[in-house]
Amino acid sequence: MFEKIKKSKKFDLLMELKKNGIVDRSVLNIIESADRSFFVDENLKQKSNLNIALPIDCGQTISQPLVVAHMTQSLELNKNLRALEIGTGSGYQSYILSKLCRFVYTIERYNSLKKKAENLLRRLGTKNIFFKHADGGLGWKEQAPFDRILVTANAPEIPHNLLKQLANKGIMIIPIGDDYNEQVLKKIIKNDNDIKIENLMKVRFVPLVEGKENQ
């Protein structure tokens, strides 16, 4: 009975994503096959197929599936690309990315979240994700440039370090705004010295904070 309900909720979720502009079949397929319940605590597993954000450790959240799908679709991924993710969190978005591009480099400022996500994703058999405990706003200079950059925390402006590490013709998806009012998910396309910025949707993310935490 539980599995039947779970499949019904997943079907409803996919229908909701399609109604809200998710048309990339590869994105829909991976969200359908990925079990979001692996990435949340036991008491929240029954809500894992609902289109809502859920709390995780360290005061962070796992984004609602619609936002994950929009960010992923907007990155225009393929298997030849290298992606940098700022904010590993639960590891759910990292897992989605790993199925759609060649390599994923993911940075988390909370060491406990980084370790938990790394252990989980290793158990799930992912081999193309590389983890780092660091200040995400600084990026990962040693591995730059990146074809795609996804920032899962809100910044008041586009971080210079990340823009510098974005490859030519690369795409960055990042929420921009302040912590208390409007945040807008933006798509940044870099073409030589020209930067094109497109507004995607209103969102609500935790802030991009400087430094790193050992907790």
Residue 93: helix, strand or coil by DSSP?
helix
Residue 61 lies in a domain: yes
CATH of the domain at 107: 3.40.50.150
Range of the domain at 185: 52-203
d(CA 5, CA 65): 18
**What total of structural domains would you count in the chain?**
1
Encode pLDDT of 77-109 as tens digits: 999 999 999 999 999 999 999 999 999 999 999
> Do 120 and 38 contact (CB within 8 A), yes or no?
yes
**Does residue 37 sit within a domain?**
no
Neighbours of 215 (CB within 10 A): 10
Residues in contact with 98: Cβ distance below 8 Å, sequence separation at least 6, in sequence order: 104, 121, 126, 128, 129
Domain-located, residue 112 = yes
Residue 145 inside a domain? The answer is yes
Q: Kindly report, residue by residue over 21-76, the tens digit of the pLDDT.
A: 999 999 999 999 999 999 999 999 999 999 999 999 999 999 999 999 999 999 99
pLDDT at 6: 64
At 9, is the secondary structure helix, strand, or coil?
helix
Asked whether the predicted pLDDT for residue 2 surpasses 60, the reply is no
The active-site residue, picked from 48, 63, 90, 98, is 63
pTM here is 0.94
Does any domain span residue 209? Answer: no
Query: Three-state SS for 88?
Result: coil
Q: Is residue 84 part of a domain?
A: yes
CA atoms within 13 A on the CB side of 59: 9
Which residue is associated with the tokens 């798509």?
Answer: 187
> Is 198 inside any structural domain?
yes
Q: State residue 182's pLDDT score.
A: 85
Catalytic residue status for 112: no
For the record, the structure tokens of 183 come out as 């945040």
146 assigned to some structural domain: yes
What pLDDT is stored for residue 1 in this prediction?
A: 42
